[in-house]
Amino acid sequence: MKYFENFFIIVKDIGRTLLRNKRQSILTFVSIAIAVFVVLIILASGTSSKESLKKSLHLNKSSTTIEFTANNTDRRGGFSNADKEMISTIYGLKNTIIKESAYNTSAIVTYKNNTQQMTLRTVGEVSANNTVPLRVISGGKINNSLSNYNYQRIAISDDALEKLTRNPHVNRFIGKLIQLNGKSFRIKSVFYASEVNQVLPDIIVSSTGKNIITGGISSDDEMIIPTISQPVVRKVLKMLDSRGTNNYLGTYSAVNNEKLYQESVSQISQLLTLISIVAGISIFVAGFGVMNAMLSSVSNRSREIGIRRALGATKNSIRISYMIEGTMLSVLGGVFGILAALLFCLVMTALKMKSSVSFAQISLTLLVTLICGIIFSVVPAMIAANKNVVEAIK
């Protein structure tokens, strides 16, 4: 009980000391808080990255995607309701879904004497698959320009338009007519073709426009079956190879989205860990601020240290008090940084951008802050403890 009371008195005294040197204490406190905040936000961004990856992969831990790849792009083929019923009946996979993938639809696009085959998607399909807002380079907003009432309007990427016209000045072609599968459409928007975001098609049209271009024919080249059992998946593939509606038009393959997700998450985690370690160096840099503040405190309180020694304080008690002072300053900054990071995560989650940090990440960051405070308090504490009593009192 006596030791606890003494410790409480020391902490209370240190708190008063820190308040005496407010400016330097606050600056040191803030620098550590910012460093901790940055580290935790980088770690929290991993949650957001994983959620975006899940969305882009349409990941469901209880399902497997089977793809159909046509041998001839002119006869694409795909899955039929008969395939779906066959799998549901034989293997009991009642919730099987067949759909068209993001890259399956294309059209022959012609402008003057140049012809290109380009991928085609509707506004709704792009919105469902794309996680990054489209950047319009020229023309009107895509959602406003393309509607079922104005189905003859299209949006085209800058890369696709340049390939088609052999002209880099894409803004000149707003309002121009081009042919899609022999039907005339007018360019209303040109958007930026990202090299990273490969989900973007060459051309975006309304759903009515797509039906006109394709003649209402769709090719469902993806089948999602509600199982991840590899023996069952292999049996389904074997059955489709022999009895699939369009087995003579192409081949079937299973996509292990879970494995792809895990490998991608592993790479993201490694990258974020590396960035966090680099960012964590800022905590140690802030630790020099702790050392500077403590050295300044020792210099300004030389007389106080001398009086305490003269009244019977040991070198060890002086050393411990300064160690606690520096550590407390560092830990308080760390706690404030953690609270700020948690508040930021709550705000981001409220804005539909899921972000979080684990208890282990918080604990590790706080431990690093604690160690930083101890390490950078050693030198000032030693200097304070070894001060000459007579010279300190003068």
- Nearest CA to 252 out of 89, 108, 66 is that of 66
Q: In the prediction, which pLDDT does 273 show?
A: 75
Using DSSP's 3-state secondary structure scheme, residue 153 falls into: strand
Residue 324: both structure tokens together: 């606690």
pLDDT at 190: 92
Q: Which residues contact 352 (CB under 8 A, 6 or more apart)?
A: none
- The DSSP call for residue 71 is S
Backbone angles phi, psi at 191, to 5 degrees: -115, 160
CA atoms 222, 226, 229, 232: torsion sign: negative
Q: What's residue 237's pLDDT?
A: 92
Sign of the CA dihedral with 130 first, then 131, 133, and 138 last: negative
Residue 186 neighbours by CB under 8 Å, 6+ apart = 152, 153, 154, 175, 176, 177
For residue 320, which of 377, 370, 247, 264 has the smallest C-alpha distance?
A: 377
What pTM does this model have? Answer: 0.55
CA 89 to chain centre: 41
Buried b (16+ CB within 10 A) or exposed e, 198-221: ebbbbbbbbebbbbbbbeeeebbb
User: For residue 98, which of 238, 252, 299, 211 has the smallest C-alpha distance?
Assistant: 252
Q: What is the pLDDT, as a whole number, of residue 235?
A: 92
Please list the pLDDT of the chain residue by residue as tens digits (394 residues). Answer: 544 555 555 555 555 555 556 666 677 778 888 888 888 888 777 766 666 666 655 555 577 888 888 877 655 678 888 999 999 888 888 888 888 776 667 889 999 889 998 888 888 877 766 556 778 888 888 876 677 677 788 999 999 999 999 888 888 999 999 999 889 999 999 998 865 555 678 999 988 888 888 877 667 888 888 888 888 999 999 999 999 988 888 899 887 666 666 776 777 777 777 777 777 787 888 888 788 877 777 777 777 777 777 777 788 878 887 888 788 888 888 888 899 988 988 888 787 777 778 888 888 888 888 888 888 888 888 887 777 666 666 6
Which pair of structure tokens corresponds to residue 18?
A: 């820190």
C-alpha distances in Å from residue 91, one per residue of 53, 63, 228, 281, 328:
30, 14, 13, 56, 64
